[in-house]
Amino acid sequence: MALSGAMVSNSLFAKEPPAISALDKSALIYLSPILSNGNESKCHGEVWFIHHENEIFVVTQQDAWRAEAVRQGLNTAACWIGEFGVWTRAKNKYKSAPYLRLSGRLETDAGLHSTLLEKFGVKYAKEWDSWGPRFRKGLANGSRVMLRYQPIS
């Protein structure tokens, strides 16, 4: 018995995971570095992000815990996708959101910074007149860093 092309392609290819499709619909992600003992850090944070070529990019202050964690080799992070307001007032509601485990590193390529800052400007157009210059200046002078996260399968 032969299978039709439509039957084969529908049965062989899975849909995109809910967390990945949620990235393109959300303005925020909630990040928490994973400590060396495997527990989430007590420091969570809701952050702006860009989903670009199957990776997640975040710009943050260079002294933020999420940046310091990566510098210390704590590259794994928990990520919840959705919008629940400030994490301290969200009372863990974000933990019901689509979830990804990520592996992070610092991204230092100025050309990629420029490309992604343009994408931030489109995604966060209302706030970008204020935040765009801060991000650009901060990345240029080192007061901000770009973190690059890749989903871990």
pLDDT one-digit tens code per residue, 83-132:
765 666 667 666 667 788 899 999 999 999 999 999 999 999 999 999 99
Q: What is the pLDDT of residue 80?
A: 82
Tokens of 129: 């007149």
Q: What is the pLDDT of residue 83?
A: 75
Q: What are phi and psi of 126, to 5 degrees?
A: -60, -40
Q: What are phi and psi of 125, to 5 degrees?
A: -55, -40
Range among 34-48, 51-65, 96-110 with highest mean pLDDT value: 51-65
Asked whether the predicted pLDDT for residue 147 surpasses 50, the reply is yes
Distant-in-sequence, close-in-space partners of 107: CB < 8 Å, separation ≥ 6: 57, 113, 145, 146, 147, 148
Length reported for the chain:
153
Tokens of 114: 């420029």
Lowest-confidence segment of 50-54, 61-65, 78-82, 103-107 by average pLDDT: 78-82
Average pLDDT over residues 59-82: 92
Distance, in Å, from the CA atom of 49 to the CA atom of 79, rounded to the nearest integer, reads 11
pLDDT band at 22 (very low <50, low <70, confident <90, very high): confident
**β-strands 45-47, 99-107: how paired?**
unpaired
Of 58, 72, 74, nearest to 139 (Cα)? 58
